[in-house]
Structure 1
């Protein structure tokens, strides 16, 4: 089954924000059985090699996301802008993930993964503005005050995005499937950045 714009319009909204000059941004739950064609198309492209699914079949990808959907600690979402899906966004509880064994994880931590869809049109300052909205959502989750990211250490583009979004880079650590670069952003640090930007 292929999801249509109309399907996204009626899907439960986890977070919404009106972005001047962009339109209406929404975060909605990923439904594996309905969204698999879209997601498999994204993750199987060479540009998504660091996502780790380029060789996986449609059925394998759907199985992975159905497993995630069964967990209370891991969540997958689509980011929608005016009806158009623009990104695959995942959050997780580091204390309930292998990542939590690689650093002193806390209940207040929330981890994230982000895969941008292939661009269909130019959107000025897309990545930093999208990241700001996702960060706002994660800090709206009760009890969370620090965001954890661990992209592949070879993914230079992702590392540049982190630094542009004011994440503090931590150690490089070895996970089962990759050598990862830790990055951290605290609620206090994000609020300070927002305050500084508002006075410019």
Structure 2
């Protein structure tokens, strides 16, 4: 789970070449920035690199129906900021503080070039987690491991304390990984890079069918590279 001043911020600052964006039908830098105050839904082009997550159906799990819904910087600010100020979350996300800090973090993705999509996780219609689905192969993370084209990465946090410590993390991570592999046929692997000190997170990924592939330093943490292979999807 990323410190705010390292992995996610690096992801947002990395610029794709204009010719590459043009091939994907994505506006260039001057066109893609939303003018004025950040409000409302993301721009239409922001689904090109990760997919139209808003259209993904709910996944059935043993805990209930789980769905990802793209987050809005204004609409969801109070809830996500509240979660970010929980000490258990803040220790790894480093977004505790004024709501404006969380707002900027979400808005930068919502109105960026589409490489990272912030989402709420709804369990039986109840918002209880926050997720970021991102193109790992276009992220600075790709400098630290042998990335493949179309690798998709995930960051997450479980919001309420009552939802932690009862195995939900592994169940939901497996559901999200399955959704990604279902809707992104060119993706052969889903990856994550939790802090190696976050043993609960690492255990949840292992329980969801990921393997620990490597460890390496990232700004603010030592990361555990977790990998879920499409080829092993029906086995693990």
- Bucket of the pairwise TM-score, normalised by the shorter protein: 0.7 to 0.9
The secondary structure found in structure 1 opposite 2:187 is coil
1:41 pairs, out of 71, 82, 85, with 82
Following the alignment from structure 2 to structure 1, what is the Cα–Cα distance between the partners of residues 165 and 220?
33
Q: 2:235 aligns to what SS in structure 1?
A: helix
Q: Against the structure 1 CA distance between its residues 79 and 181, is the aligned structure 2 distance closer, same or farther, given a 3 Å change threshold?
A: same
2:142 corresponds to 1:100: yes
Q: What does residue range 36-75 of structure 1 map to in structure 2 within 5 Å?
A: 36-48=77-89, 49-54=91-96, 56-71=97-112, 72-75=114-117
Q: Secondary structure at the match of 1:113?
A: strand
Secondary structure in structure 2 of the residue aligned to 1:153: coil
Report the TM-score, using the length of structure 1 for normalisation. Answer: 0.82
What whole-Å deviation, never above 9, does each CA across 1:132-165 have from its counterpart, x for those lacking one? 2111111122311101110011111111112222
The answer to whether the Cα contact below 8 Å between 1:29 and 1:77 also exists between their aligned partners in 2 is yes
Residue 98 to residue 139, structure 1, CA distance change in 2 (3 Å): same
Distance 1:62 1:122, change over 3 A: closer
Is 1:188 the counterpart of 2:231 in the alignment?
yes
Pair 1:86-2:128 in alignment: yes
Counterpart in 2 of 1:173? 216
- Decide which of 129, 148, 158 is 1:116's aligned counterpart: 158
Q: 5+ residue gaps in structure 2? A: 1-53
Q: Report 1 or 2 for greater relative contact order, CA contacts < 8 Å, sequence distance ≥ 6.
A: 2
Q: How does 1:10-29 map to 2 (within 5 A)?
A: 12-19=54-61, 22-29=63-70
Q: In angstroms, what is the RMSD of aligned CA positions?
A: 2.0
Q: Which runs of 5+ in 1 are unaligned?
A: 1-11, 194-200
TM-score (norm 2): 0.70
Q: 1:156 aligns with which of 196, 199, 208?
A: 199
Shift in Å at residue 98 of structure 1?
Answer: 1.2
Q: Secondary structure at the match of 1:174?
A: strand
Matched residue count: 180
Deviations 1:111-130 (CA, angstroms, capped at 9, x unpaired) = 11110011446996423321
Q: Which has the higher strand share?
A: 1
What does the per-residue CA deviation read over 1:30-73, in whole Å, with 9 as the maximum and x for residues that have no partner?
1111000000000111010112212x321011011100112311
The answer on whether the counterparts of 1:13 and 1:29 sit within 8 Å (CA) in structure 2 is no
Give the Cα–Cα distance (whole angstroms) in 2 for the partners of residues 89 and 109 of structure 1: 16
Q: Distance in 2 between matches of 1:143 and 1:81?
A: 27
Q: Which secondary structure does the structure 2 equivalent of 1:75 belong to? A: strand
